[in-house]
Structure 1
Amino acid sequence: MEYQQLQDEIKAAMKARDNHRRDILRQVHTELKAIEVNERREVTEADVDAMLKRVIKQTKETLDGSIKAGNNQERTDTLTEQVAILEGYLPKQVEGEELIALIDAVLADTGAATKKDMGRVMGELTKRTGGNFDKAAAAKELGSKLS
């Protein structure tokens, strides 16, 4: 997602009076604005994606804590909705058959054969997908293919 698109989404959420969407997108925007000010540079699409992932992670941690603490259901529902909203803005994850085909291609290209090569293969997968793949499924699949 581009930075301008994020700003447009905030405006659309404000017009639609969608407070949950507006609030969580403003949180992402605030973090990105800090990058702009502190590092004195333009925010890139990669920055937006990384920040979305970071805010998702933080929100999921808060959600887990809320569930464990038995806090009120309204807060838990709000956090769950915010995670779903943010995940909708992330690029599509590579998974399933597409992931297996990509793993096979990387194994063929790198010539990896042992579990010692697993880090190199995972690095190549990250490079080819921009980090948008199911890492647990990839590790499991690699573990079964490497000796």
Structure 2
Amino acid sequence: MTILDQLNEDMKEAMRNKEKQRLLVIRSVKSSIQNESINKGKELTDDEILTVLNREMKQRKESLHEFEQANRQDLADKTNAEIQILTEYMPSQLTEEELQQVVNETIEEVGAESKADMGKVMGAIMPKVKGRADGSKVKELVQQSLS
């Protein structure tokens, strides 16, 4: 079952169960996917849908951070619930050990030796861990490994 099929099924389920929050999040994500599809002029693959989901997740995490800094716990709670719903559609996250292993293998593959090679390493790693690791965490591990 594709991600889009899963979203459609879950949207119907949320309507039946009158889960307003879940329904709003799914509709929002579907809308973003539809907009991306229109922009590209074709149906999106699961990989492209995953990119849209990552973007939605990142936006919500940034909002959550700002709400917490502004001491708006009500909005932070709402955004946190949205993040939990989106997490269900994301692939499972890599553990730190697994991510470190991917970083080490990639550094070896590209022959990186110093921080000057950071761009090459990041360019090679990100497609491998797409949707399964946070970019800032990957960057942090690459910096540690190259220093």
TM bucket (normalised to shorter chain) is: 0.7 to 0.9
- Counterpart amino acid of residue 41 in structure 1: K
Output the TM-score relative to the length of structure 1.
Answer: 0.83
For residues 110-146 of structure 1, what are the alpha-carbon distances to aligned partners after superposition, in whole Å with 9 as ceiling and x for unaligned? 2111111111111111122225324333333333332
2:43 partner SS: coil
Structure 1 residues 78 and 145, CA gap change in structure 2 (3 angstroms)? closer
Alignment: residue pair count: 146
Ranges in structure 1 where 5+ consecutive residues have no aligned partner? none
Q: What fraction of aligned residue pairs are identical, expressed as a percent? A: 29
SS in 2 for 1:17: coil
- d(CA) in 1 for partners of 2:71, 2:96: 35
Q: What is the alpha-carbon root mean square deviation over aligned residues?
A: 2.2
Mark the CA change 1:146 to 1:2 in structure 2 (over 3 Å): closer, same or farther. same
Larger Cα-atom Rg? 1
Structure 2: any 5+ residue segments left out of the alignment? none
Hey, what's the Cα distance between the residues in 2 that align with 1:142 and 1:74? Answer: 36
Aligned to 2:145: 145
8 Å Cα contact 1:112/1:121 also seen in 2:
yes
Pair 1:15–1:69, CA change in 2 (3 A): same
Q: TM-score, structure 2 length as denominator? A: 0.83
User: Are residue 80 (structure 1) and residue 80 (structure 2) matched?
Assistant: yes
